[in-house]
Chains A and B, each alone.
Chain A
Amino acid sequence: MAASRTTNPLLLALVVAVVGYVVAARRELGAASPFGAFLRLGLLVITMRVVLEALLGGGVPGRTVLFTLPQVPLPAAAGGVRLGGPVTLEGVLAAAYDGARLAAVLSCIGAANALASPRRLLRYVPATLYEVGTALVVALTYAPQLVDDAGRVRAARRLRGHAGRGPRELARLAVPVLDSALERSLDLAASMESRGYGRSVHRSARSRRQATALTLVGLCGVVAGVYGLLDGGSAPLLGLPLLLLGSAAAAASLAVGARREPRSRYRPDPWAAPEWVVLASGALAGALVLVAAQRGVADIVVQTSPAVWPTLPWLPVLGLLLGLVPAWLSPLPPLRAVGRVGAHRDGLTDGVRSAS
């Protein structure tokens, strides 16, 4: 949450650094990590944002003109839109900060993907919602599958005398890779089905509909609540209360479903002190930045006109540094745990999650 509330580039860089460190320390060995891909995506976002700002001009008025692009005259009907023209320092900075904010959020999402396996999460998707569950499987496994497949196809591409890089190669390989990844996802769904996923959980159609409705309402509530928390501009009522209400509804639906659910758990992931520490550190990091933003601590939102050098406010920094705690205290993933005492299994790294 912290990242979406600030535009201070120093704070955002700190977010990325903290997240990166945790990923480096707690990533599973030997697995392809999507973190790098998300970082690159973040850089692309910043560049795009700045280039578009320079080309089209934004809403930020500025006086410090860096250079002037040849302007294309547009009819008056185009409103305030312009093409080319003077590029101001203030405008570019505002765009860059804005892009950086999105990039930081993306890096947090990437970290969550690298640290918590989507398949592991899937084990906890209740079979109550069979169709939704299967769709989730297909959707969630699609992206990592795609990364995997792209890697293998690129390696094989070398065998046919191509580098497997560059836009032409991309165009050549996109369809087969997308195709095979989708096929694999469907294979997975078939496999889950034939191994009994979603077995006649609800005897009656009515109780099934009940659970579905409750869950949908709950999920909508959670989504709206999260949006409220992340977006500083929305009404304060939208955030926390909605999130809580949504979670409650979702929990109720799970409870209704769980009564009839025949599933059992093999060695459920323990939820002990380390997991609490991770959760607490993430929540605290988010909370401190939120509090700072609420209090109006200077430099959470950096001034861009006139452009000033941003400073580091101490309260959010402290909060973000708390996000480092999981790097040492979270449970080790299985391969890293080999050879160490107290082989914990990797919990979901909520720290990273809530820090985003």
Chain B
Amino acid sequence: MIRFEDVAVRFDDGAEPVLRGVNLRVEEGELVLVVGATGSGKTTLLRCVNGLVPHFSGGTLSGRVTVDGRDTRTHRPRDLADVVGVVGQDPAAAFVTDTVEEEIAYGMESLGVHGDVMRRRVEATLDLLGLADVRQRTLRTLSGGQQQRVAIGGVLAAHPRVLVLDEPTSALDPVAAEEVLGALTRLVHDLGLTVLLAEHRLERVVQYADRVVVVQDGRVSSDLPAAAMARSPVSPPIVDLGRLAGWSPLPLSVRDARRVCGPMRQALATRAPARVLRSFVTTGQGEPLLSARALVVNRARRPVLRGIDLAVRAGEVVALMGRNGSGKSTLLATACGQLPVRSGSVRIDGLDPESLRPRELLRHVGLVPQDPGLLLYGETVRAECREADTDVRAAPGTTRALLAHLAPDAADRTHPRDLSEGQRLALALAIVLAGEPPLVLLDEPTRGLDYGAKTRLVASLRSLAARGHGVLVATHDVELVAELADRVVVIADGELVTDGPAAEVLAGSPAFAPQVTKVMHPQPWLTVADVAAALAAS
């Protein structure tokens, strides 16, 4: 269905090629997973499939890419639209229309699908992706996860034979992600849809893949999932657990792992993870840095938060979880005084964030927004760091030193836009930390991060907490929460439903349980590191 023949892509004449020597065949009805570290060329590979590279991106492509026998050299993306559907990384950037229904219909309109058929498919797609109750809404007012589902729906509805998805679940909560992936596998099985999918959160997708393509330094190799995972530079917790235990073949799903993990569970039966004990002890101390009381916040005249009570104290990392659109980002924005409080109160260090002058605000609270690029305006990393120093009147070099600690490989002269996702996040975090705010808020920080970058993020946030900062992270990433958080707060539809120690909350619900917990159930293990430490001690 898709064939790459000796493909190389280079964007600037002098520069290193982004991809080289790519030979790849994807057969009809296969679900192929593309993995690799951030910046390894996954996105470029995907964009080659429908000809966006090089027709839209510029650059030079040598070799040949054919889809269903059509050469992308002679067929522009629009001529391939009936065969290939592409969902990009940022769904909001790709919306052509204003409302959910219109967006889903747009692709079909372009292809000239008959009106009646279109009505039927729109309804089916709305149901398939759980969008029926937001069908009339304006796209801009939807949450990130809802937007992602609309973007997928818009492409799916046109019934392409090949579907190309770039991180389709990165903004989705665990349940929604499972639903979307379930829908995809159903289409693969029932309709013979061919799917090419890039994803960082391997724990969500690897068990569905027929084949795994590993992209490393611009080179591409493809293999069966278990074999590919054995030597892949990135791997999900379950594979790490399998490597630790020496299981062969490596398990890729919780079910496989549970079948072989009996001996391990037995060995650990008498031990309790150190983490579980710790999380009961080290919930923060002192006066709350952030306290919300009966907080109600409206957006577009409808209540998004309905009476939230929450406290975050010094020295603890709190994870804020909940469905897409449940009000997580709204809570963070309100805590920084970006949205007006309707009733109730929110206090930062005992002060009202809305009344604080910006210059004082950043001495009390720092927020890394969902799109860290929003904080960056400089021409180079160095200029950005220098400006951050003057913003908070810190000693020159403060921000640069913080960045060097968070992301050692970020070069001074690079334009912030050309940094990898992980480096950009690190830069934004360094800028926020320069003011030494006691409270640090992060909105969905792991979007687009590979496992390596995630581990570094966890380490730096934990050390912040150890130095007495309070950290509140809104995220869908259960594996991140398992490694990072002391306490988990779950909100649903603007109301707080759970507030408890991480181990308890995560283990308590199958939707939020990390892979290791599922495998080791009923023992309360959260991460591979916990298990490794306990095994080493015994």
Chain A interface (Cβ within 8 Å of chain B)?
28-31, 117, 119-120, 122-123, 127, 137, 148, 152-153, 155-164, 172-173, 175-176, 180, 184, 187-200, 261-267, 334-335, 337-338
Contact = CB atoms under 8 A, between A and B. Distances in A.
14 contacts: A119-B96, A123-B106, A157-B358, A158-B336, A160-B388, A161-B392, A188-B94, A188-B95, A191-B95, A195-B106, A196-B78, A198-B78, A334-B99, A337-B136
Nearest to A145: B93
Contacts of B102: 120, 123, 266
Contacts of A120: 97-98, 102
Contacts of B402: none
B86 A263 contact: no
Nearest to A157: B358
B118 A264 contact: yes
Contacts of B376: 176
B367 interface: yes
B52 A190 contact: yes
Contacts of A198: 78, 110
B158 interface: yes
Given A31-B138, A162-B391, A266-B122, A195 B97 contact: no
A279 to B, nearest CB: 22
Contacts of A264: 108-109, 112-115, 118
Nearest to A184: B93
A29 B300 CA distance: 7
A161 B435 CA distance: 9
Contact of A160 (B109, B337, B362): B362
Nearest to A195: B107
A334 to B, nearest CB: 5
A107 B90 CA distance: 34
Contacts of B293: none
Nearest to A192: B96
Given A266-B119, A267-B119, A191 B93 contact: yes
A158 B374 CA distance: 11
A262 B158 CA distance: 14
Interface residues of B, number: 73
Most buried by B among A28, A117, A199: A199
Q: Which 6 A-B pairs have the closest CB atoms?
A: A30-B300, A196-B81, A262-B112, A266-B105, A196-B110, A191-B94
Nearest to A200: B79
B176 to A, nearest CB: 22
A128 to B, nearest CB: 13
A127 B432 CA distance: 47
Nearest to B96: A192
Contacts of A173: 377
Contacts of A161: 358-359, 361-362, 391-392, 435
Contacts of B79: 199-200
Nearest to B362: A161
B431 interface: yes
Contacts of B82: 196, 199
B467 interface: no
B164 to A, nearest CB: 9
Nearest to B391: A161
Contact of A193 (B76, B88, B113): B76
Given A266-B118, A335-B137, 7 more contacts: A31-B138, A157-B358, A160-B358, A164-B358, A195-B110, A196-B110, A264-B114
Contacts of A184: 93
B193 to A, nearest CB: 17
B140 interface: yes
A199 B115 contact: no
B401 interface: no
Contacts of B110: 127, 195-199, 263
Given A195-B154, A264-B112, A162 B358 contact: yes
